[in-house]
Amino acid sequence: MACRVICDSKLLFPSYFKRLINDRYAPIRRITLTTLAEINYIDAIRELRNSLVDPHISVREVSRFYLNSVTEIDYANHYLDYLWSENTKSLATALIALGEVGGPEHVEILAEYTNQADIKIKRAALRGLSLLNFEQFLELFYIALQSDNNGLSVEGYRGLRKKAHLIDSNRLLNMLLKSPEIHVAKYVVRLFAVINKWDQLRCLLNALEIMRDSNIRVEIKAQLRKWISSFNRSVQAKPDAFKVEEVNKMLDRLAQDLGEKEVKKLKFLIR
């Protein structure tokens, strides 16, 4: 790699430094920053501080790693300064980074920024929030999941996935019943993969009856096949609330979609 050759050269590195540290590719910025820090900590401090709000997490982590060796910085307060300043250029990155280094006292601050009109800021606030203990603000991720903006839906999905044990499976099914955007349905179905296995089966069968989009139906069927193949390894004892008769009726209605062989397997496993 040309970047590595330049960084290893005492003659070339100084003259190419500015170009490399501002390169569009994060790996190049990271290597350049690491090289500078290894050569001279003191000279690197300014660039390390600037890179605390680099768009890529790997560069931010390198900055924090080397700064820890030469100075004491309260990183949470450092990122809060960006939030309170009038310069909004690095606001989105600062919100994510605050989630990386923050604590319980920063949860409400990040939650407030999810009300911003700017989609980029809303996404960043949700991502930062998802890195902390955000259970009290779980509703924000349900709202984001249903957004007509794919980027916000992604953040809703990622956040809820981290709190799989708190997911309301019936609520997810209701989202599908409302005929949501295809991207919303896609993320809802993917969330089925992380919930309780018995709830997952019920939800997948319901979803297969509801959804007409071919790509989503393929994903549902793939999850059902995985449910069958991993049954003995991952499925806990059947809960009392699981309605076998109701599920059997769904399987009968879906026999043509699933195939007789798959239906028989599922009926045998839930008997």
Amino acid at the residue 113: Y
Do 267 and 248 meet the contact criterion of CB atoms below 8 Å apart? yes
Provide the b/e sequence for 257-271 (b: ≥16 CB within 10 Å): ebeeebbebbeeebe
Give the per-residue pLDDT at 11: 43
Give the per-residue pLDDT at 5: 47
Tell me how far apart the alpha carbons of residues 253 and 249 are, in angstroms, rounded to a whole number: 6
- Prediction pTM value: 0.88
| Helix/strand/coil (H/E/C) assignment for every residue in the chain | CHHHHHHHCCCHHHHHHHHHHCCCCHHHHHHHHHHHHHHCHHHHHHHHHHHHHCCCHHHHHHHHHHHHHHCCCCHHHHHHHHHHCCCCCCHHHHHHHHHHHCCHHHHHHHHHHHHCCCHHHHHHHHHHHHCCCCHHHHHHHHHHHCCCCHHHHHHHHHHHHHCHHHCCHHHHHHHHHCCCCHHHHHHHHHHHCCCCHHHHHHHHHHHHHHCCCHHHHHHHHHHHHHHHHCHHHHCCCCCCCCCHHHHHHHHHHCHHHHCHHHHHHHHHHHC
Do 123 and 101 meet the contact criterion of CB atoms below 8 Å apart? no
In order along its 271 residues, the chain shows pLDDT tens digits of 556 545 555 544 565 667 788 889 999 899 888 888 888 767 788 899 999 999 999 999 999 999 998 888 999 999 999 998 877 789 999 999 999 999 999 999 999 999 999 999 999 999 999 999 999 999 999 999 999 999 999 999 999 999 999 999 999 999 998 877 999 999 999 999 999 999 999 999 999 999 999 999 999 999 999 999 988 766 667 766 678 888 899 999 999 999 999 999 999 988 8
Helices 169-177/197-210 angle, 10° precision: 10
Q: How far is C-alpha 171 from the geometric centre of its chain's CA atoms?
A: 20
